[in-house]
Structure 1
Amino acid sequence: MCPFCGHKHIIKYGKDKHFNQRYLCKECHKTFSAITNTLLAYTKKEPYQWYLYIDSLFHGDTLKQSAMIAGISEYTSLVWRHKILSICASLTDESPILHDTVYLDEKLIDVSQPGTEKKNNVPKKRGISDQKRNIACAVDDHGQKIIQVSERGRIHSKELIRIYKDKIPSSCTVVSDSLRSYHKFMKELKVNWVKLPSGKTEKDGYTLQKINLIHSSIELFLHSYRGISDKYIRNYIGLYKIKDKYSAKYHIKSIFYMIFKRIINNICELKYENFSSEFSFTMI
């Protein structure tokens, strides 16, 4: 399939200088290879350097540490990190359908907006505010999870419907707190709603312990990345979801190699020109 127009009418069209098979699309008349628009396209570095770098990223190393391990500059390390994270986000965009009892709640996290905060001298606000980003979280009895970066400030019923519609069947029992936005949302889903009263942590044996564990895990993961820009929070959550999916198993060589192949062969829409002087360069 052509990566430019999506048509399947393609023919072989010689090989490039690295002996990769090239193809010609008979529809848009553009040429491409198997690595077109991937991380390996136009790179001057070797595949093993990408392998070392992605392994370092999954181990939680800093930009400087990853740069030393992969043998690249710190600025290149910054660009590579965000290109890889953007792929992690695209790989984890699709959410599963939940079943039986579903527990849901949102995690509000502090995010930075480099340049804007300093320029406007905006003071930090406490509690729910538009300076914080919602991470919508849901988990069912079988461990299936939905984790989606949502709107800033207090989440609205319209946003909840957008995230969970067709993902939580009407046969489910949904456990949540008594947030006002849930009322219209639960009517839309037509589920059995177990609403925990304000100030209470339990009702009829139901608690939000499962969802609280997810919140703690996300908070712990993000803590090591100081001052994440609001623009890139979705990408970091993408990395979190991949690591969470495989748990500690991504340290197993065969499993990590499978993850590496998925990342390295996936389309990367970010280019070097997307990174300008306004890009926040923090050594983390």
Structure 2
Amino acid sequence: MTLMNLRQKTGAISEIEARASHEEPCPSCGIEHRQKWGKTRTGIQRYRCRGCGKTYSGRTGSVVGRIHRPDLFMVVLRDMLGTSAPQSVRKLAGQLGLNKYTVWRWRMLVFSIIDRGEDTAFSGIIEADETHQRESRKGSREWVRHFADRQNVPQPPRPRWEDFTTQGLKMMRGLSKWQLPILTVADRSGARLFQRLPDRQSATLERALKPLLPQDAVLCSDGASGYATVAANGGIEHFLVGSKPGTRVTAGCYHIQKALLQNSDCRGFTL
């Protein structure tokens, strides 16, 4: 283990230990009496409740409780919230020796934590766009149950993602029901938002975007009908931009480059 890796690991463990430094109630039964009970695989102090006998640590019950590399998660967190611009998912994954999908899931986890604590306030020129990501199959047991009992469990209606590589299956062109829409919104002050939409209907897009647009905002978007409708209903100035050269910028300053940059950073990742 290099000196840098050791510092990352000990720093992450110290921050987690600080959360449990004061005797807190057992997350299972609420009793405050505990005893030290060895350490976890990642070196974090484990405790055993004297009441129910269950073990826990400083991460138990938190949204990051099941992350196996807290040291690397802290690096990803600092990269996102630092003073400089975050690195791309692929570049950061290469530096940390992680799979790019792991880094992306960790970033989405951080976004979910931030969204719980504060409302994103947009103002001025607001850019909006949507992208589509393939549905996550992580943890799904549908194919496992089918292979274990072919007679009673029918074949799932969708192939496994790995079959497209191992069996040479071809992806359907265009969008399908297995690709989930994500709304990305950004303004010129740096505020931004990723929000997964349940479907691709215009009404769904309108409901998600309407609370984000103040009355005096200027909306920049592509030609999706939902944007034009929400702008017209709210009396908001709307600039339509295209994807072809010569149409990507309107009136010299209205574009969706910030929203497109967010989209490019999440293309090809699993949700």
Describe how 1:130-141 pairs up with structure 2 within 5 A. Answer: 130=177, 133-141=180-188
Comparing 130-139 and 115-124, the one that deviates more? 115-124
Correspondent of 1:125 among 169, 173, 177: 173
Q: Are the structure 2 counterparts of residues 215 and 202 from structure 1 closer, same or farther at C-alpha, using a change threshold of 3 Å? A: closer
| Partner Cα separation in structure 2 for residue 125 and residue 30 of structure 1 | 51
Equivalent position SS for 2:193: strand
Give the conservation status (yes or no) of the 8 Å contact 1:178–1:196.
yes
Q: Are residues 1:91 and 2:139 paired?
A: no
Correspondent of 1:170 among 210, 215, 224: 215
| 2:32 matched residue in structure 1 | 11
The runs of 5 or more residues in structure 2 that have no matched partner are 1-23, 80-88, 137-159
| Partner Cα separation in structure 2 for residue 103 and residue 41 of structure 1 | 35
| Partner Cα separation in structure 2 for residue 141 and residue 205 of structure 1 | 15
Describe how 1:179-198 pairs up with structure 2 within 5 A. Answer: 179-186=224-231, 190-196=234-240
Equivalent position SS for 2:121: coil
Q: Which amino acid aligns with 1:186?
A: A
| Partner Cα separation in structure 2 for residue 178 and residue 192 of structure 1 | 16
Correspondent of 1:22 among 47, 59, 63: 47
Q: Which amino acid aligns with 1:172?
A: A
Q: Are residues 1:105 and 2:129 paired?
A: yes
| Partner Cα separation in structure 2 for residue 53 and residue 197 of structure 1 | 34
Give the conservation status (yes or no) of the 8 Å contact 2:126–2:188.
yes
Instruction: After TM superposition, give the deviation of residue 114 of structure 1 in Å.
Output: 0.5
Q: Looking at CA atoms only, which structure, 1 or 2, has the larger radius of gyration?
A: 2
Normalising by structure 2, we get a TM-score of 0.51
Q: Are the structure 2 counterparts of residues 176 and 34 from structure 1 closer, same or farther at C-alpha, using a change threshold of 3 Å? A: same
Give the conservation status (yes or no) of the 8 Å contact 2:127–2:185.
yes
Instruction: After TM superposition, give the deviation of residue 212 of structure 1 in Å.
Output: 2.2
Instruction: After TM superposition, give the deviation of residue 98 of structure 1 in Å.
Output: 0.8
Normalising by structure 1, we get a TM-score of 0.49
Give the conservation status (yes or no) of the 8 Å contact 1:98–1:167.
yes
Equivalent position SS for 2:211: coil
- Ranked by relative contact order (alpha carbons within 8 Å, sequence separation 6 or more), the top structure is 1
| 2:145 matched residue in structure 1 | none
Give the conservation status (yes or no) of the 8 Å contact 2:220–2:241.
no
Correspondent of 1:207 among 254, 260, 264: 254
Comparing 115-124 and 31-40, the one that deviates more? 115-124
Q: Are the structure 2 counterparts of residues 42 and 98 from structure 1 closer, same or farther at C-alpha, using a change threshold of 3 Å? A: closer
The runs of 5 or more residues in structure 1 that have no matched partner are 68-76, 235-284
Q: Are residues 1:33 and 2:57 paired?
A: yes
Deviations 1:197-250 (A, max 9, x none): 778545555521xx224424642x457xxx64xxx2x3xxxxxxxxxxxxxxxx
| Partner Cα separation in structure 1 for residue 55 and residue 185 of structure 2 | 43
| Partner Cα separation in structure 1 for residue 125 and residue 67 of structure 2 | 48
